[in-house]
Each structure stands twice: as C-alpha cells, then as structure tokens.
Structure 1
Amino acid sequence: MENMKITVAGVGAIGGLLAAMLGRKYEDRITLIARGEHAKALREKGLTMESEFYGDSFMKPAAVAEKGEEIPVQDLVLICCKNYSLDQLSEQIRPCIGPDTIVMPVMNGVEPGDRVREKFPEAICIDALIYTITAKASDHSVKQSGPYTHMFIGSKLKDERHTEAAKKVHELFKSVGFDARYSDDIMSEIWQKFILNCGFNVITARYLTNTGGVRRNSEWAKDFHELMKEAEAVGRMEGVNIPEGTAEKKYEYCMENQKDDATSSLKRDVEAGRQAELDAFLGAVIRKAGKYGIEVPYSEKYHRELSGMIDAYMA
C-alpha cells in the first residue's frame, strides 16, 4: 500500500464517504474525479464528512481532475456513480487505467462488476457493495447517518491476481479504521443486498413513502415481499449461493426493526425528478428472468408503473 496512487471517480455520497475515510491516512495520494462547480469546490475547500458512525473528518486531496488524462496511471480506481452514468464515467477515466490498475465499482445492483470487466479487460476488476445511509449536501460535503457503515470486498473472478487485489484493497480500508469485510463469495453478498433493494427501494419509490407507510398498508407490504421473492428466485437461477430464506429474513427485519422514517435513494431521486436507477434493480431482474424463462409479474408491474412516474416527474 506504500505510495499507492488512488483515484475516486464520482464524488457523490458514496465516493465522498470513501474518499474522506481514505483521506484520514492517505490524502496525499488521492485524486478525486469531478466536474464543474463540484470540482472547483473540492479544489478550494477540500472534502468534509460528517459521520455519526466514524466521526467527522476533512481531507484535502492531492489533486482534483476532470479527466483521467490529467493524471498518471493509477494503482487503484474506485468507481462510485449511478448505474446510468457508468458508460460516460468509464470513458472519462480510461486514460488513467493500466494493466496493473485495480478497479473497484462501489455501486448498486448486480451488474456493475461485469460491466466494468467488459470495459477494462486489461485491468484487475474486483467487486464490492456497501451498506450505509449517506447523502451528499448542497455544499458538496457528505453526511453519514446511523449506527453502521460497512463494505464487503471480494472478487467474482477467483484467480490469484484478482483475489490478492481484493485482499489488498480490503487491508487498505481496514488501515483507516473503515469497517471493511473480505468475502470469498462476494456475489452472494451482492445479491443479498440486491434482493432487499428490489423490494424496499422499489416500494418506497413507487408510493413515495417510508418504512412506516409500508407497515401501515397491507397491500404495499405484500408487494414488497413478493418483489424480493422474485429477485431471490432469479438469483438462484443465476447459480448464486443465496442463503435459504433471504427474502423472508430481510422482509421481517424491515417490517419489525427498521425505523419508521427509513426510505431509499430511489425514492429520493424519483421525488426530486432526477434520473433514477430503476433499470439497475427491476430492469436487471426482468432481463435475467427472461433468460431463464421465469415469470416475474410483480417486477414487471412495478417497473412499468415506476417508469411512468419517473418520466412524469422528469418532464
């Protein structure tokens, strides 16, 4: 990890959180990729994080670049963007990725790892997922809320090169006090979160509600459960090692333990009239279900209805 050149591409909520944590020890090695006013603010003011779990911190990156061609080839590139921005961001950072660069997307859904491997076949592309409640503020700072934030790191590809890279990045995050967890079966962890997202994110976005609202409406609660069961069934057909009863356990946890005011990024994006990651959730379920000949009526219904809402709110 000594002298490792690190780039965080996409400095929104997740990218800002990870950059701020790494910056506690390695700020002189970190480049942030951002554009326009965001880039200007990061250059002038640095990056501030308020965190209930980790405590507040401030970091001044070694550089803020708008394109990969402005910096040398990097040792580690974290891609932290919405799924719909991945194609554009990948071209933006391509010049700073070489054959020995470790590339790790920290994004929603089950497809980013494979998409990144297709875009950078010469690089070492590993996998990750994060559990956190973090938002980017209007002043470009980030705010983490709640009593947890942890990340799973691993590699879908099991050769020594990728496995060792995943372990190296895991140790990097551990070295700054971040709750990083190495997984030998990262796709199982990714799918377990995906199953939850396909239910909770979708149902809260469709009805612009929170956990309390779902609890009080038996029809919404039933649909929430069914959406997760469909995603779990598709994951099993993919050959993913999903623990028995995953959808059931996540449903029970949300309905019994989650705070009433808990909501989702998908709900916030739909409500604000922004682009939303519906395709990363239900679009992926429907595509994969079609490949295996599985019927997913709840996913199709909610995909259709939410697509109409997103179009209307963005108009």
Structure 2
Amino acid sequence: MSVFDRNGLRDLQICVAGPGAIGLTLAARLSVGGFQVAVIARNESLHAIRESGIRLIDREGDHTFRVDVGSASAFPKQDILFLCPKSQDMPALANAVRSVVGADTIIVPVINGIPWWYFEGEAGAWAGRHVRSVDPDGSLKSIFRSSQIIGTTTVITAERVQPGFAKTFNPLQMTIGEINNEISPRLERLAAVLQMSGIDVQITWRIRDAVWTKVVRNLISNPVSAVTGATLRENFGDGYLAEVSRQMLYEVLPVIAAYGARLETDPNTILAAGRKMGDVKTSMLQDLERGAPLELAAICDAVLELAALHGISMPVTQAITGLARFRSRCNFAMQAAQ
C-alpha cells in the first residue's frame, strides 16, 4: 500500500492501549482523522469509555467519540498498536496485549524516559543490553520483538481530567524513528496516519537523539515539580528552581555524549521553552496529586544507571531523585493512614 493512499490507510486496524492523558489524546485525534480506533482499557476507564465514549478538549475544540473498548481479547490482531501506559505499568500491559500483536503489527511505545529497547539494534559494547531500571528481568525484550518496534517521543502536555476525558492546549508533536536508524516505508505510513490526525510529525533516522531530548525535558522538570509542586512556568521562571534544573541538564550532557547521541535542541532553548509552557503540571506532579506511583525509574533511575555504566557522576540529579522518591513514599503513607 502506498503511503499516499490515504483512503487505504483508514482501513488499518489501530489500537491504543492505556487510556491515560496521552492515550486518550491519541485515540481522540485518530478518531478526528477518520480512523476506527480500538481502546484497551480496564476498571473505571473501561466503564467510563463504554458508557460515554472518549472526550478530548484541545486547541481545535471539544471532541467526543464512541470507540470500541475492552480487553485485548475482544479485538483481532492489529496493524498498529500504540502502547501508552505509565512506564512502570509497561510490563503488566505488555502481557495483557499479547493477543493483538501479530507478526506484522507495528508496536509504538509512547512512554516517558529511557525505553527498554534503547540498546536494541545498536553495535558496540552495550549491544543487546537491557536497561535494568525499566526492564529488570528482561521481560519486555522477550515479549516484543525489536523488529516490530518504532521508537517515538511526544511533546504533548495533556491532563486526564477524569476517566475517558483529557485536555490539552499546546501543539501536538511527535517524533518517530526506526530503532535501527533506517527510514522505512512503514515509518512513512505511520507518519501519514498521525499527520491525518492533526499531529505534527517528524521522521528521524536518529531516534535516540529524540529520546534523549525528551528525557532531558522530563528529567529537569518532573522530579523537581514532585518535590516543589511547581508548574512548568513556576519551575523555569523562579531563579532558584531554574538553576536546579539547569544543573541537572548540564549533568546529563556528558552521559548523552558517552552514548554517541546528541540533543536536538540547544540546552538554553530547552530551559527557555519550559517557561513558555505556562501553568502546566508535569505528569509526575499530576500523578503525585492523584496518589499514583511516580515514573522515577524511567525518567531518573535509568539515566543514573546509564551514567554509572560510564562512571559519570550526577549528584544534583541523584539528590532530586531521592527527594522525589521520599515525597512519593510520604504521600502513600499519608493516604494509607487516612
């Protein structure tokens, strides 16, 4: 099928697993683009979506769509599977979606932090290694064939208001790339699907550069916000907090270089962009306020793990990560006591 056969693209079987803020945004935008979307959900999300559909308020308006929703067993093999859990929930989700993954299914993990597939398709001393912070027992590597994965990063600041309902008011941007650094026809088809859905897409042959750029944005804001409660505007507008984030950014630069990657954006531009995001709560701050686990393993621990492999010290990042973990534990203890 030609990438330009856009009517043909709408015949694709597309599934979104994980109806959090990003998953709901993707499912709604795919529906806006005219695609039939299946959503894998459970518990309160399953009931809410089954009863009222999915709802998204974005820059274009207020969208509500009825979609097929259920467990993976309710759906056939999929052409494209978007995995949109919190990173710590990925192992459980991976087991839950096995039945919809066929031999030719394109698997698109839309997750924060360092992905489990980071060393797949790489040469050199670290080839094939798994990142223990996000895949301790290597189960993700065993469940998903690396040849089926397309790497992605998102710049989507969305908030789940309630089950089945999300809001986002900033531009929707995604970068996609093959993890073996090739430009393939299936990559171009995926880009066309996303573009037809109103998402600004960049194709790259260096997806790990995009991963590190997103990791840096998360690393220097998410754990800081969990400790302070600051929005992005407050984090990067306050002199003290901005300096903490700046130190964390410059600590990670040698790690990125050690793995032969580079930032797609100048460090100062990253810092300036944070202020322009407005009073947006980071995903980690949203999770803290909801009493949910924080994505510290993928966003912080995995970076520290990769730094340690090269003997690189990151004291400020280590300290902020520890404070965020302490804040999370206290939050759980308070909830348990109530």
The question of whether the paired residues in 1 share the 8 Å contact of 2:182 and 2:205 is answered with no
Q: Which amino acid aligns with 1:55?
A: G
Q: Does 1:203 align with 2:221?
A: no
SS at match of 1:100: strand
Segment drifting more, 110-119 vs 295-304? 110-119
The question of whether the paired residues in 2 share the 8 Å contact of 1:108 and 1:194 is answered with yes
Q: Deviations over 1:165-191 (max 9, x none)?
A: 222111111123322222222221221
Distance in 1 between residues matched to 2:99 and 2:146, nearest whole Å: 13
Q: Which residue of 1 aligns with 2:158?
A: 134
Q: Which residue of 2 aligns with 1:222?
A: 243
Q: Deviations over 1:47-73 (max 9, x none)?
A: 121112x33222222x2122x233211
Q: Does 1:49 align with 2:56?
A: yes
Alpha-carbon distance, 1:35 to partner: 0.6
Q: Which amino acid aligns with 1:297?
A: P
Q: Which residue of 1 aligns with 2:291?
A: 273
Alpha-carbon distance, 1:212 to partner: 4.9
Q: Does 1:37 align with 2:55?
A: no
Q: Which residue of 2 aligns with 1:151?
A: 174
Q: Which amino acid aligns with 2:266?
A: T
The question of whether the paired residues in 2 share the 8 Å contact of 1:8 and 1:30 is answered with yes
Provide closer, same or farther for how the CA distance between residues 73 and 64 of structure 1 changes in structure 2, counting only shifts above 3 A: same
Q: Does 1:16 align with 2:24?
A: yes
Distance in 2 between residues matched to 1:215 and 1:138, nearest whole Å: 28
SS at match of 2:205: coil
Within 5 Å, which residues of 2 pair with 1:232-311?
Answer: 232-243=253-264, 246-255=266-275, 257-259=276-278, 261-311=279-329
Q: Which has the higher contact order (CA 8 A, sep 6+)?
A: 2
Segment drifting more, 223-232 vs 287-296? 223-232
SS at match of 1:76: strand
Higher helix share: 1
The question of whether the paired residues in 2 share the 8 Å contact of 1:99 and 1:122 is answered with no
Provide closer, same or farther for how the CA distance between residues 135 and 252 of structure 1 changes in structure 2, counting only shifts above 3 A: closer
Distance in 1 between residues matched to 2:166 and 2:274, nearest whole Å: 25
SS at match of 1:90: helix
Q: Deviations over 1:203-262 (max 9, x none)?
A: 22211123454456543322111111122221111111335x73333123335x443x33
The question of whether the paired residues in 2 share the 8 Å contact of 1:188 and 1:241 is answered with yes
Provide closer, same or farther for how the CA distance between residues 295 and 65 of structure 1 changes in structure 2, counting only shifts above 3 A: same
Distance in 1 between residues matched to 2:172 and 2:79, nearest whole Å: 25
Unaligned runs of 5+ residues in structure 2 are: 1-8, 119-134, 334-338
SS at match of 1:3: coil
Q: Which amino acid aligns with 2:307?
A: A
Distance in 2 between residues matched to 1:98 and 1:123, nearest whole Å: 12
Q: Which amino acid aligns with 1:48?
A: R
Q: Which amino acid aligns with 1:135?
A: E
The question of whether the paired residues in 1 share the 8 Å contact of 2:304 and 2:314 is answered with yes
Distance in 1 between residues matched to 2:326 and 2:84, nearest whole Å: 27
Alpha-carbon distance, 1:117 to partner: 5.2
Q: Which amino acid aligns with 2:322?
A: R
Q: Which amino acid aligns with 1:88?
A: A
| Number of residue pairs aligned between Structure 1 and Structure 2 | 305
Q: Which residue of 2 aligns with 1:96?
A: 100
Distance in 2 between residues matched to 1:176 and 1:217, nearest whole Å: 36
Q: Which residue of 1 aligns with 2:65?
A: 59
Unaligned runs of 5+ residues in structure 1 are: none
Provide closer, same or farther for how the CA distance between residues 98 and 278 of structure 1 changes in structure 2, counting only shifts above 3 A: same
Within 5 Å, which residues of 2 pair with 1:58-97?
Answer: 58-61=64-67, 63-66=68-71, 68-97=72-101
RMSD: 2.1
Alpha-carbon distance, 1:139 to partner: 4.9
Give me the TM-score of the superposition, normalised by structure 2. Answer: 0.83
The question of whether the paired residues in 1 share the 8 Å contact of 2:227 and 2:323 is answered with yes
